[in-house]
Structure 1
Amino acid sequence: MLVLTRKLNESIMIGNDIEITVLAVEGEQIKLGIQAPKHVDIHRKEVYLSIQQENNQALNTEVNTLTNLSEFFRKK
């Protein structure tokens, strides 16, 4: 993990087109501004993990459905 120290209104760059700026520091909270191309998805980690879990559940449901259909037609 890369650890960087930034002050208020200072930024870091990720690649050529993603900029993260420290907008405010209030107690233990830090507000970040992120400028990135529209095609880049940006989520809080807990939201990202939730999306991944839902996608995996949907994939497993599809596989189970296809397996059940395959067994159904095999019996006929």
Structure 2
Amino acid sequence: MLVLTRRLKESIMIGDDIEISILSIEGDQVKLGISAPKNVDIHRKEIYLSIQQENSSATQTESSAIEILSNFFKKQ
């Protein structure tokens, strides 16, 4: 992990087209601004993990469902 120190109104560049700026600091909260191309998805980590979990759940098929479909097509 790379650790960088930035002050208010300073930025970090990732590659040529992603910029992360420090917009404000209030107590223990830091407000970030992220400029990136529209094709780059940006999510808070908890939202990203939730999306990954939902995607994983959606791809898992119960074996009973597969058996039911298999039997359905065998009858036809």
Q: TM-score, normalised by structure 1?
A: 0.86
When the two chains are superposed, the root-mean-square deviation of aligned CA atoms in Å is: 1.7
Counterparts in 2 of 1:1-76, with a 5 A limit? 1-61=1-61, 64=63, 65=65, 67-68=66-67, 69-70=69-70, 72-73=71-72, 76=75
Identity %: 68
Number of residue equivalences: 73
| Contiguous gaps of at least 5 residues in structure 1 | none
Structure 2 residues without counterparts, runs of 5 or longer: none
Q: Structure 1: which 4+ aligned runs deviate by more than 4 Å? A: none
How far does residue 27 in structure 1 lie from its aligned partner after superposition?
Answer: 0.1
